[in-house]
Amino acid sequence: MTYKLLHHTGCSTSRNGLALLQENGVEPEIRKYMNAGEALSVDELKDIARKMGASSPREFLRDKDAKKFEIPDDLSDEKLYEAMVENPRLIQRPIGINGNRAVLGRPIEKLLEIR
């Protein structure tokens, strides 16, 4: 299986997560989801949530950006997925994906759990 990393080069935690994987012999396929050409779809976000065992996209929502962009606390999951597609800054990172498992790399050591 190919380990995939949802990565944002402008995020120090994401960069540190990538470095940790590489230090441990994992060369992930990197998806720079913040770039328009590599943006995530609603279906992909739902699949990631399923692989994480997440009951809601709120489990990988960047709270500080949700406040900044005035995402209401009572926004439906469907609308939140749509908001994440429109503004990928709302997605917490890094996220590691390997086969049918995914994990939010907070702390980054969690990325090693699915290698």
**pLDDT for 77:** 97
Known catalytic membership, residue 11: yes
Cβ atoms of residues 21 and 114 within 8 Å: no
Q: Number of helices (H) and strands (E), helices first, in the chain?
A: 4, 4
**pLDDT for 30:** 98
**pLDDT for 39:** 96
Q: Catalytic one among 11, 30, 39, 112?
A: 11
β partners of residue 101: 98
Q: For 7-62, where are the alpha helices, taking DSSP H only?
A: 12-23, 42-52
- Domain borders along the chain are 3-114
Q: Identify the CATH homologous superfamily for domain 3-114.
A: Glutaredoxin (3.40.30.10)
**pLDDT for 86:** 96
**pLDDT for 1:** 73
Mean pLDDT for each 10-residue chunk of the chain (115 residues)?
94 97 97 96 98 96 94 96 97 97 97 96
**pLDDT for 89:** 96
**pLDDT for 42:** 98
3-state secondary structure of 38: helix
Whole-model pTM? 0.94
Q: Which residue, chain included where needed, has tokens 């990538």? A: 18
